[in-house]
Amino acid sequence: MKSLYTSSGLQSSRFWGLARPTNLHDTPKIHIFVKIAFPPPVLINTLMRNLPLFFLLVLNTLFCAPGFAQPDLTLTQITTVSQPVDIAAAGDGSGRLFLVEKAGTIRILDLSAYTLLPDAFLDISSLVLNSGERGLLGLAFHPDFANNGYFYVNYSQAGSGNTRVSRFTANPPSANTVDPSTELPILSVAQPFTNHNGGDLAFGPDGYFYIALGDGGGTGDPGDRAQNGQELLGKMLRIDINNTSGGNNYAIPPDNPFVGMQTPEILDEIWALGLRNPWRFSFDRSTGDIWIADVGQGAWEELNYQPASSSGGENYGWRCYEGYHKYNTDGCGSGLGYTAPIFEYGHNPTTGGNSVSGGFVYRGNEVPDLQGWYIMADYTSDNFWLVQPTGSGWTVDLQSDVPVSDIVTFGEDDDGELYTASLGGQIYKISATVLPIELMGFEGKFNDGRTQLRWTTATEKNSAYFQVERQTPGAGFESIGTVPASGVSTASKTYQFDDLFAEPGENNYRLKMVDIDNSFSYSPIISVYVKEPAIWQLLPNPSTGQVTLSVQTDLNVGRLGFEVLNMQGQVVFSDEVEAPELPFLKPYNLVHLPKGSYFCRIDIGEKTALRRLVFW
């Protein structure tokens, strides 16, 4: 299904301090397209002074793109680390992927077998202030890393919280561990608040080193740092890391846009300005274009674009503008010279979100359907977007049901294949498939001591089976059973699965829909709340083997049945009491059972309930 996207806007809440709402998608995948035609990147004066006229222009170019070939994103988890915030490759052909952990370590994933090496590549946790939005935030490898072993990190300094960009050296470059004493400080920037650090690093195709810095924090950029040319905060910097000058461990590229400017003076390191919290930027490895995702303030998230032909100097408008919208124009110009985003979305959990996580343009070879699409996500809503230039405008595709959460960063391997990470620790490889099954509905309810799941397909083409997966609080998704699919069907078909062992509390479910060639896609996630049976208890739980069953109910109970089942569903102990006196209290000696997890089933009159029991 494709529909017209008419929502505008981005939101910007503080990235790390979010009180994240539970987000459970409950509808089949919907692609929502918008095509936007924009004026040249530097907006004309009348555009920014007359926003209603501009929106008429945009709305006149919106269209529903029927028949547009569109990839469906598929994410496959390949490993787990602790609070990943960046993903990078060394460009040395070693098949290693480097995963940045916010607390101050970098881990190596061997892509040949998706094996996480046991030792940290770099551990500078003693140097890093890991708190809120602060931590080890960025990683980039020198273009000649294979020979010199140089790589660069951006971190919040322990004690002060200031931003530090430093070089470290792997000796030899193939080493899987690095001595922290090889640190060479490159740049330090004082941070006035605890948030909006930016933190991303990258080498451009020109060989220069780019650094993204947020405005330093505080609501609404109270120091107006993003527009102040004498501040590095709220800017994109561009420096020459291969040379030194002026007492710095870097030099200024002579073609930087503000070199030699006197009135008003702008620092020579600055490549672009007017950014709030650029949480991830990237270069298109094919074209050299720059994509900058900037977290907004209170209403709009934005995606900025700088073509490779740009000579720099763009002003993306913050704090004068948030997205296309005026925010605080005190002391701002009339609008001439500000560069508008190519896309914005509002603080709407359905079609938008609250904190954009920027990604990459796909240039790998494994997923031809993704070729040329820029992929990004929102941290709070779990929405994904695909963005692609189309002549004078942009096509934007919203994918709102990719079954992952808390997406915080993206990264490329040496071959251009894409990966993404959840702040919860999961690392995923990005792919895209055509759904083997058109799923029309998926629902669940708790009834008679079990969760009853039901789903309906409209059509099926070469489908093999459904794998039912459940996620309980504090755990990942696990398979709890399979249901054979019809194989080929052009008519509606309904399936059902009963989960007898759902635990009290929130239980999340999804379907892994597998084709005969083993390709698969996931359904939306649904949530079923299992009510804690209040009429009976097993104490203590966990137990060493001695447990007491306590039943209190006003029901007229003629029979009480009690069973203990192992994880394979086999009954390993049972007891039955006719006409029990209530309240009922009876100890059981189960020390003969092996240690581990069990399920207990109790039948009280016509009611059945289940409870997990752990022996240790």
Q: What is the DSSP secondary-structure string of 275-326?
A: -S-EEEEEE-TTT--EEEEE--SSSEEEEEEE-TT--S--B--TTTEETTEE
The pair of structure tokens assigned to 253 is: 């590229």
Q: How far apart are CA 40 and CA 510, in angstroms?
A: 44
pLDDT value of position 518: 75
Alpha-carbon span 355 to 44, nearest angstrom: 28
- What average pLDDT does this structure show over 125-138? 98
Q: What is the mean pLDDT of the chain?
A: 84
pLDDT at 47 over 50: no
Please, are residues 483 and 495 in contact by the beta-carbon 8 Å criterion? yes
Average pLDDT over residues 253-274: 92
CA distance 283 to 287: 8
Q: How many residues does this entry show for the chain?
A: 616
Give all strands (DSSP E) within 135-234, no chain letters. 136-141, 150-156, 163-169, 184-189, 201-203, 209-212
User: Tens of pLDDT along 50-100?
Assistant: 333 333 333 333 333 323 345 789 899 999 999 999 999 999 999 999 999
Joined together, the tokens standing for residue 608 give 């059945």
Question: pLDDT (tens digit, 9 = 90+) per residue, 368-402?
Answer: 889 999 999 999 999 999 999 887 788 888 888 78
* H or E element in which residue 107 lies: strand 105-110
Q: What is the mean pLDDT of residues 597-601?
A: 85
* pTM for the whole structure: 0.67
Counting Cβ atoms within 10 Å, is residue 234 exposed (0-12), middle (13-18) or buried (19+)? buried
pLDDT-derived band of residue 580, with 50, 70 and 90 as boundaries? confident
**What's the pLDDT band for 505 if we cut at 50, 70, 90?**
confident
Residue among 386, 428, 389 nearest 405 (CA): 428
pLDDT at 211 over 70: yes
What are the extents of the domains in the chain?
31-433, 437-530, 536-615
Q: Is 231 helix (H, G, I), strand (E, B) or coil?
A: coil
Q: Angle CA(62)–CA(67)–CA(71) in degrees, nearest 5?
A: 95
Record: fold of 437-530: Immunoglobulin-like (2.60.40)
State whether CATH 2.60.40.1930 applies to domain 536-615: yes
**Rounded mean pLDDT, 535-558:** 78
CA distance 473 to 443: 19
> Would you state the structure tokens that stand for residue 158, as one six-digit string?
């322990």
Q: Is the pLDDT of residue 244 over 70?
A: yes
Tokens of 329: 């124009």
Strand order across the 270-273 sheet: 201-203, 209-212, 235-239, 270-273
Contact 116, 96 (CB under 8 A): no
Helix (H, G, I), strand (E, B) or coil at 609: strand
Query: Residue range 589-601: average pLDDT?
Result: 89
Which amino acid would we find at residue 255?
A: D
Could you give the 3-state DSSP secondary structure of residue 369?
helix
Which residues are bridge partners to 438 per DSSP?
459
Pairing of β 31-37 and β 2-4: parallel
SS3 393: strand
Helix (H) or strand (E) holding 51, with range, is helix 51-61
Whether the domain at 437-530 and the domain at 536-615 fall into the same CATH topology: yes
186/163 Cα distance (integer angstroms): 11
Q: CA–CA separation, 463 vs 76, rounded Å?
A: 19
In this prediction, residues 535-562 reach a mean pLDDT of 79
pLDDT class for 36, splitting at 50, 70, 90? low
For residue 232, pLDDT beyond 50: yes
Phi/psi-derived region of residue 155, left when phi > 0, alpha when psi is between -120 and 50, beta in every other case: beta
Q: Give residue 11's pLDDT.
A: 27
Cα separation, 577 vs 603, whole angstroms = 10
Measured CA to CA, the distance from residue 431 to residue 428 in angstroms comes to 9
Q: Are 433 and 474 a contacting pair, CB within 8 Å?
A: no
Nearest to 506 by CA among 77, 28, 27, 24: 24
Q: Are 523 and 403 in contact (CB under 8 A)?
A: yes
Secondary structure class of 377 (helix, strand, coil)? strand
Rounded average pLDDT over 203-210: 98
Supply angle C-alpha 501, 504, 506, rounded to 5.
100
Q: Which CATH superfamily is domain 31-433 in?
A: TolB, C-terminal domain (2.120.10.30)
Give the pLDDT confidence of 147-171 residue by residue, as tens digits.
999 999 999 999 999 999 999 999 9
DSSP 8-state class, residue 487: S
Residues 6+ away with beta carbon under 8 Å from 78: 109, 114, 419, 427, 428, 429
Measured in degrees and rounded to the nearest 5, phi and psi for residue 150 equal: -85, 135
With cut-offs at 50, 70 and 90, classify the pLDDT of residue 24.
very low
Helices (H), 97-165: 145-148
Strands (E) located in 516-606: 520-522, 526-530, 536-539, 546-551, 559-565, 571-578, 584-589, 596-604
